């Protein structure tokens, strides 16, 4: 059993590393006259050494580490499904590893939301006490943020960017494998936070609470810093891949829009993720080294945390939502059987979001007590970012206009992205304006707003991508009827839940608080019931995916008659992707343009890619 | 050997600039002026290191020896 | 890397790809150090604290000199002079250790504690930087060992070049940190 061996040796060396770290701390502390064991310090060093041990044991030592010492490297070759449990350099394996892991994390985090809604059905405390509620709320938040940041980028991006640009793999395959294998420890750390007291501070971890709360905060900080490392290295890999590995003839103006969105997202991840990591490093130092970044008594300033944190966490919403836009535009063009409208403007819009995304962070801080003269500039910059976003919408609507829409499930999800994000964008204006934001700050209006943008914009995009590429990834076809059932069920219950949620927000119901006034009971009961319905819709999804992957009918290579390169090769693609690198001739979305060809495969007996574009 | 000569010239340049920065810090009392001068001095050290030592131009020009 | 498994493809310019990747990594690290620097200015403004100025200028000169010796090592290996490259590398490692020792001495004799604001930023910035210096020393030692075993030539010396680029980068970071902490 290669799979068992691989994971077990990773766990073994990880444990050895963990105890090595504990031992080192004990020795140093013993020599300097302290107690040998301090929960926070010991966990920190144990984690760092354990993480290195885990990576080395799971296969990085053989594939990479040996090279640093001038030894010959080797890969563990595993047959069939077992390769998904090894340190594999194949971007297709890594993409599926990411995708399946994050679907599981998504379902677990969704379960957390269900528990919260259960507690919120009635005013007063029923299921939890306040601490337990905070722990569940924080865990739901950070796990969902992780899903939103990495599920599309790591899963679909890894799988399809190299295929769509005609490359045989990512630029740094070993780095790619490293970024995935950092994820399981992160998930394990986050899921074990309830056993050390739970993260009371939500996913934002504002000091001073995060400095004085339980030791589980240390687990949280270390896990998120590791996750940031994954995000940065993944972004680096995508940027280099897209710049240097494109097939001959694939100029920037012919790049599929999904690849463009991944390119912009990767720059965001590379530029800003350090913010979250540095912010949590500061919290960690305040906690374990007694420093005073955030202690106002000794010259620190808690506002510093908010600035550094939001320097990442606002751009993070674009890291989450831009891949969703990319998938939506991609799918809308293929299923409208029309060239993507205003392609250049859409790319310009994505780049504009990249440029503006870094100068709007303080709109999260209008009520934080920062200097008043900052309010105006951040208000204006925030409103200005709707201009490039509008260009993306222009491209989507112009493509649908007069198109012959083919309403299969991926298209439905793609259209839902546009609808939901428009709702989220409109409510965003109220939160960007200082006067209304001061009233709405930290209420359920904010919760409804960001669920509309992130779930509506990105998670719907994720499902569009999963359904669209399912035949390519598995070689089998999903059940269309169940998929459409999933779509309508999810779309309607999602909209009912979060549309109604604006109302208690306007009434002043605080987010993150386990209790609320009795006058809001009816509306909360309604929201809870529709949230349970939303949660139940994923049962259909999971059943459809699992059953179709094992028993579904074998899919054709190109069931959507799409023109992009990834559909011109067998499903699932062979290990080397292309026998010969494809030669790109024309634009990827020229549906119905006479005589246009996207890519040809010299030396192979295949027809020119996109030959069926006329239908 | 041209490459070696660049190394020696850079060594002199960097050490001189460190001395200049140090003197600015000792003798300029106006805070904003000191800050600006030090910023200029710092970039005057960092940019040549990136160009001559780290060969940043090879990123877009390719490998030339 | 991938080239072994995917022999059918024309090889990409792997050296160029690695170089660009390393630069992006530096770019990303720059933001990390930049945020720490911003934290210093956010908490303290452009006020100067009392520090051992002679020690500061001393260790800065040492680190900058080590950058010069590292450059010499790279130039030597580009001209296939292995023995000479080895001596320059060992010199760089030695200077790196002296620098780290200097930072340690500064820590031991500092007049402020880590429990106050300037101490917080000073120990954090120098600590994160010293961690990078020590990892750079470790990498230099690894390539020096392989150089001693007869690897690397003017044709194939990317591990040396990459490590030395990293060393220069750490040096540039200190060139910014030094005035930020000592001079401003």
Contacts of C16 in chain B (CB under 8 A): 58-59, 62-63
When CB atoms are compared, the residue of C68, C172, C176 closest to B50 is C172
Question: B59 at the C interface (CB within 8 A)?
Answer: yes
Chain C touches chain B, with at least 3 Cβ pairs below 8 Å, answer: yes
Contact A89 C5 (CB under 8 A): yes
Q: Which residue of C has its CA nearest to A174?
A: C1
Average pLDDT over every residue of C157-179: 94
Question: C3 at the A interface (CB within 8 A)?
Answer: no
Question: C131 at the A interface (CB within 8 A)?
Answer: no
CA distance C6 to A173: 12
Question: C124 at the B interface (CB within 8 A)?
Answer: no
Which long-range contacts link A498-502 to residues 24+ away (Cβ below 8 Å)?
A: A498/A448, A498/A451, A498/A452, A498/A455, A498/A456, A499/A423, A499/A448, A500/A526, A500/A527, A500/A530, A501/A444, A501/A445, A501/A447, A501/A448, A501/A451, A501/A527, A502/A427, A502/A444, A502/A445, A502/A448, A502/A449
Question: C15 at the A interface (CB within 8 A)?
Answer: no
Give residue C11's pLDDT: 54
Which chains have 3 or more CB–CB distances shorter than 8 Å to chain C? A, B
Interface of C with A in 82-121 (CB under 8 A): 114-121
Query: Do residues A256 and A246 touch, judged by C-beta distance below 8 A?
Result: no
Q: Which of B5, B7, B9 to mutate to test the interface with C (most CBs of C within 10 A)?
A: B7
CA distance A14 to B61: 43
Choose among A185, A177, A153: nearest CA to A264: A153
Give residue C116's pLDDT: 87
Q: Which residues of chain A have pLDDT under 70?
A: 603-615
Q: Which of C33, C59, C180, C183 to mutate to test the interface with B (most CBs of B within 10 A)?
A: C183
Contacts of C178 in chain B (CB under 8 A): 21
Interface of C with B in 53-92 (CB under 8 A): 53, 57, 60-61, 64-65, 67-68, 70-72, 75, 78-79
When CB atoms are compared, the residue of A171, A232, A580 closest to C21 is A171
3-state helix vs strand vs coil in chain C, percent to 5: 80, 0, 20
Cis-peptide, bond into residue A208, ω within 30° of zero? yes
Contacts of A259 (CB under 8 A, 6+ apart): A161, A164, A165, A242, A326
Q: How far is A145 from chain C (nearest CA, A)?
A: 21
Tens of pLDDT, residues A264-286: 999 999 999 999 999 999 999 99
Give residue A613's pLDDT: 37
Question: B9 at the C interface (CB within 8 A)?
Answer: no
Q: How far is A582 from chain C (nearest CA, A)?
A: 10
CATH numbers and ranges of domains, chain A: 1-72 (no CATH), 88-475+483-543 (1.20.210.10)
Tens of pLDDT, residues B35-65: 999 999 999 999 999 999 999 988 888 776 5
Instruction: Count Cβ–Cβ pairs < 8 Å, chain B vs chain C.
Output: 89
Give residue B64's pLDDT: 60
CA distance A581 to A600: 9
Question: C47 at the A interface (CB within 8 A)?
Answer: no
Is residue C4 pLDDT above 60, yes or no?
no
3-state helix vs strand vs coil in chain A, percent to 5: 70, 0, 30
Q: Which residue of C has its CA nearest to A63?
A: C1
Contacts of C24 in chain A (CB under 8 A): 236, 239-240, 270
Q: Is A529 exposed, middle or buried (0-12, 13-18, 19+ CB in 10 A)?
A: middle
**How much is the pTM?**
0.93
Contacts of A312 in chain C (CB under 8 A): none
Q: Which residue of A has its CA nearest to C113?
A: A291
Interface of A with C in 293-332 (CB under 8 A): 293, 298-301, 304, 307-308, 311
Average pLDDT over every residue of C146-164: 90
Q: How far is C121 from chain A (nearest CA, A)?
A: 8
CA distance A473 to A478: 11
Per residue, the 3-state secondary structure of B1-65, as one string, reads: CHHHHHHHHHHHHHHHHHHHHHHHHHHCCCHHHHHHHHHHHHHHHHHHHHHHHCCCCHHHHCCCC
Query: Do residues A567 and A472 touch, judged by C-beta distance below 8 A?
Result: yes
Q: Which residue of B has its CA nearest to C24?
A: B59
**CA A19 to chain CA mean position, Å:** 32
DSSP-assigned letter for residue A253: G
Helix A173-181 vs helix A183-192: crossing angle, to nearest 10: 10
CA distance A394 to A123: 44
Question: B7 at the C interface (CB within 8 A)?
Answer: yes
Give residue A605's pLDDT: 52
Interface of A with C in 594-613 (CB under 8 A): none
Contact C184 B38 (CB under 8 A): yes
Angle ∠(A373,A270,A449) on CA atoms, nearest 5: 55
ipTM of the complex: 0.91
Question: C151 at the A interface (CB within 8 A)?
Answer: yes
Question: C5 at the A interface (CB within 8 A)?
Answer: yes
Neighbouring C-alpha atoms within 13 Å toward the C-beta of A106 = 23
CA distance A403 to A332: 10
Question: B61 at the C interface (CB within 8 A)?
Answer: no
Q: Indicate the CATH number of C53-183 among 1.20.120.80, 2.60.40.10, 3.30.70.100, 3.20.20.10.
A: 1.20.120.80
Give residue A527's pLDDT: 95
Contact C2 A581 (CB under 8 A): no
Question: A278 at the C interface (CB within 8 A)?
Answer: yes
Q: Which residue of B has its CA nearest to C47?
A: B31
Tens of pLDDT, residues A390-445: 999 999 999 999 888 999 999 999 999 999 999 999 999 999 999 999 999 999 99
CA distance A255 to A330: 11
Chain A touches chain B, with at least 3 Cβ pairs below 8 Å, answer: no
Give residue A603's pLDDT: 62
User: What are the residue boundaries of the structural domains of chain C, listed by start?
Assistant: 53-183
DSSP-assigned letter for residue A558: -
């Amino acid at each position: 059993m290669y799979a068992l061996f691989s994971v077990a040796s990773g766990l073994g060396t990880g444990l050895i590393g963990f105890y090595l770290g504990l031992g080192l701390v004990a020795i140093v502390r013993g020599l300097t006259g302290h107690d040998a064991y301090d929960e926070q310090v010991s966990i920190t060093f144990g984690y760092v050494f354990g993480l290195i041990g885990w990576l080395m044991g799971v296969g990085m030592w053989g594939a990479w580490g040996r090279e640093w010492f001038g030894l010959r490297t080797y890969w563990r070759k595993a047959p069939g499904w077992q390769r998904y449990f090894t340190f594999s350099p194949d971007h297709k394996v890594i993409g599926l590893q990411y995708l399946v892991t994050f679907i599981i994390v998504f379902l677990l985090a969704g379960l957390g939301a269900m528990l919260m809604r259960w507690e919120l059905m009635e005013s007063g405390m029923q299921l939890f006490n306040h601490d337990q509620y905070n722990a569940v709320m924080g865990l739901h938040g950070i796990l969902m943020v992780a899903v939103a940041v990495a599920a599309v980028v790591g899963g679909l991006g890894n799988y399809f960017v190299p295929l769509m640009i005609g490359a045989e793999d990512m630029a740094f395959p070993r780095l790619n494998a490293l970024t995935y294998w950092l994820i399981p420890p992160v998930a394990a750390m986050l899921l074990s936070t309830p056993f050390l007291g739970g993260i009371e501070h939500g996913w934002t971890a504002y000091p001073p609470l995060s400095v004085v709360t339980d030791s589980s905060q240390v687990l949280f900080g270390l896990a998120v810093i590791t996750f940031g490392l994954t995000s940065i290295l993944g972004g680096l890999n995508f940027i280099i891949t897209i710049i240097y590995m494109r097939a001959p003839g694939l100029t920037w103006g012919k790049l599929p829009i999904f690849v463009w969105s991944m390119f912009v997202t990767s720059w965001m991840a590379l530029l800003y993720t350090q913010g979250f990591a540095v912010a949590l490093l500061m919290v960690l130092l305040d906690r374990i080294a007694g420093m005073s970044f955030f202690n106002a008594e000794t010259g620190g300033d808690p506002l510093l945390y908010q600035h550094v944190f939001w320097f990442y966490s606002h751009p993070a919403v674009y890291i989450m939502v831009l891949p969703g836009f990319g998938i939506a535009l991609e799918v809308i063009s293929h299923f409208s059987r029309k060239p993507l409208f205003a392609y250049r403007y859409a790319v310009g819009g994505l780049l504009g979001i990249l440029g503006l995304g870094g100068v709007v962070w303080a709109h999260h801080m209008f009520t934080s007590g920062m200097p008043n003269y900052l309010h105006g500039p951040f208000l204006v910059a925030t409103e200005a970012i709707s201009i490039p976003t509008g260009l993306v919408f222009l491209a989507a609507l112009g493509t649908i206009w007069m198109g012959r829409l083919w309403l299969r499930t991926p298209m439905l999800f793609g259209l839902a992205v546009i609808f939901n994000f428009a709702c989220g964008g409109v409510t965003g204006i109220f939160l960007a304006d200082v006067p209304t934001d001061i009233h709405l700050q930290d209420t359920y209006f904010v919760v409804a707003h960001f669920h509309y943008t992130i779930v509506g914009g990105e998670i719907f995009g994720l499902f569009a991508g999963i359904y669209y590429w399912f035949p390519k990834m598995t070689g089998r076809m999903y059940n269309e009827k169940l998929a459409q059932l999933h779509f309508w069920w999810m779309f309607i219950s999602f909209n009912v839940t979060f549309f109604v949620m604006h109302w208690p927000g306007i009434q002043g119901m605080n987010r993150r608080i386990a209790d609320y006034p009795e006058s809001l009971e009816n509306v909360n009961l309604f929201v809870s019931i529709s949230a349970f319905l939303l949660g139940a819709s994923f049962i259909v999804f999971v059943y459809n995916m699992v059953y179709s992957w094992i028993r579904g009918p074998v899919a054709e290579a190109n069931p959507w008659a799409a023109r992009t390169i990834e559909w011109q090769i067998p499903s699932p693609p062979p290990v080397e992707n292309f026998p010969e690198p494809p030669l790109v001739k024309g634009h990827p979305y020229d549906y119905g343009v006479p005589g246009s060809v996207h890519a040809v495969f010299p030396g192979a007996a295949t027809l020119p890619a996109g030959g069926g574009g006329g239908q | 050997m041209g490459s070696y000569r660049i190394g020696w010239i850079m060594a002199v340049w960097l050490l001189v600039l460190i001395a200049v920065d140090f003197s600015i810090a000792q003798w300029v009392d106006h805070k904003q002026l000191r800050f600006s001068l030090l910023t200029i001095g710092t970039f005057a050290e960092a940019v040549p290191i990136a160009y001559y030592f780290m060969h940043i131009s090879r990123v877009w020009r390719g490998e030339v020896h | 890397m991938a080239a072994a498994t995917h022999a059918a493809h024309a090889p990409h310019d792997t050296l160029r790809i690695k170089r660009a990747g390393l630069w992006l990594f530096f770019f990303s690290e720059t933001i990390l150090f930049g945020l720490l620097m911003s934290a210093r200015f956010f908490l303290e403004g452009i006020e100067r604290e009392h520090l051992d100025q002679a020690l500061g200028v001393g260790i800065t000169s040492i680190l900058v000199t080590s950058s010069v010796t590292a450059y010499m090592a790279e130039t030597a290996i580009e001209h296939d002079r292995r023995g000479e490259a080895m001596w320059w590398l060992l010199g760089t490692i030695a200077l790196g250790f002296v620098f780290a020792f200097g930072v340690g001495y500064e820590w031991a004799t500092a007049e402020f504690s880590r429990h106050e604001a300037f101490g917080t930023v000073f120990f954090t910035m120098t600590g994160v930087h010293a961690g990078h210096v020590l990892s750079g020393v470790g990498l230099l030692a690894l390539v020096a060992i392989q150089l001693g075993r007869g690897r690397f030539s003017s044709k194939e010396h990317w591990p040396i070049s990459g490590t030395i680029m990293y060393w220069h980068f750490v040096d540039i970071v200190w060139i910014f940190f030094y005035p930020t902490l000592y001079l401003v």
